[in-house]
Amino acid sequence: MSTLRESSASRRQFLRDAALVSAAMAGGVGFTAPAVAAPLASAGEAKKLNLGFAPDAGAAGAVLVPTNWGIYATFRAMVSNEDGAQEPVGTAVVELVGCVAKTFSYSTDMGADGRPYSFFDLKSGAIYEIVDSEWLLKVEEETFGRAQGTGQGARAAGTQVAKLLRHYVFTFRHTTFQCIAEGLKPKVSTEPFGDIVADLALGD
């Protein structure tokens, strides 16, 4: 039993160290290749979501943590105090349930990187859902059309699955994180970041 506990603690420490190294190399932002590139935003409506906290508007971006159990977006969580000022409450750990596409982009006024979310007047330090999203439609076509084939029954099955998907946008000071997922499962942790990632990797 003692050997088992030591092995588990050793693995957790290794995962913790690896997480800190990865975060340092990423400069605090986990850039990953998108499944389908987000198109220009020329249609749709942004609805601000309330998960009980908001991203730090001054943070550079989110750190994405992919595990065998799911994909998680992590960032400093902020809440409003009695005076209306924002104060940190820990690290947000948001599971991207059923995520099929994700991408990061730099925030630009002119949308030079192809993802001009200034069209929606999105402010940093918030989480939004884009309703009637062109990117969501493109992901549905690319992902489910290819997977289900071209028959009428296959297209209907793909459409049913696609109806579960949503387009989410997390905004920060320098970057925007977007994903297409079935939903968001949020929580806040006060543990050190390395311990959070180690726990996620272990499925805790």
Contacting residues for 148 by C-beta, under 8 A, at least 6 apart = 154, 155, 157, 158
Q: Which residues contact residue 144 at a Cβ distance below 8 angstroms, ignoring those fewer than 6 apart?
A: 158, 159, 161, 162
Q: Which residues is 166 bridged to in the sheet?
A: 181
Q: Are 31 and 103 in contact (CB under 8 A)?
A: no
Residue 121 pLDDT > 80, yes or no? no
- Position 188 scores a pLDDT of 97
- Using CB atoms within 10 Å of the CB of residue 195, give its burial: 0 to 12 exposed, 13 to 18 middle, 19+ buried: middle
Give the model confidence (pLDDT) of 50-94 as tens digits. Answer: 999 999 998 888 999 999 989 999 999 999 988 888 999 999 999
pLDDT value for 13? 59
What is the residue-averaged pLDDT of the chain? 75
CA dihedral 103, 107, 109, 115 (to 10 degrees): 0
Q: Give residue-wise pLDDT tens across range 133-190.
A: 888 888 888 876 665 555 554 455 555 555 689 999 998 887 888 999 999 999 999 9
Pairwise CA distance, residues 195 & 163, whole Å = 36
Tokens of residue 68, six digits: 């065998």
What's this model's pTM, rounded to 2 decimal places? 0.73
Q: How far apart are CA 115 and CA 29, in angstroms?
A: 18
How long, in residues, is the chain? 204
Whole-angstrom Cα distance, residue 187 to residue 92? 6
- Closest CA relative to residue 19, chosen from 183, 202, 195, 147: 195
* The pair of three-digit structure tokens given for residue 161, joined into one six-digit string: 């699955």
> What string of DSSP letters covers 75-88?
EEEEEE-TTS-EEE
Cα 197-54-41 angle, rounded to 5 deg:
100
> Cα-atom radius of gyration of the chain, to the nearest Å?
18
Domain residues of the chain, as ranges?
A: 29-188
User: Who has greater pLDDT, 56 or 107?
Assistant: 56
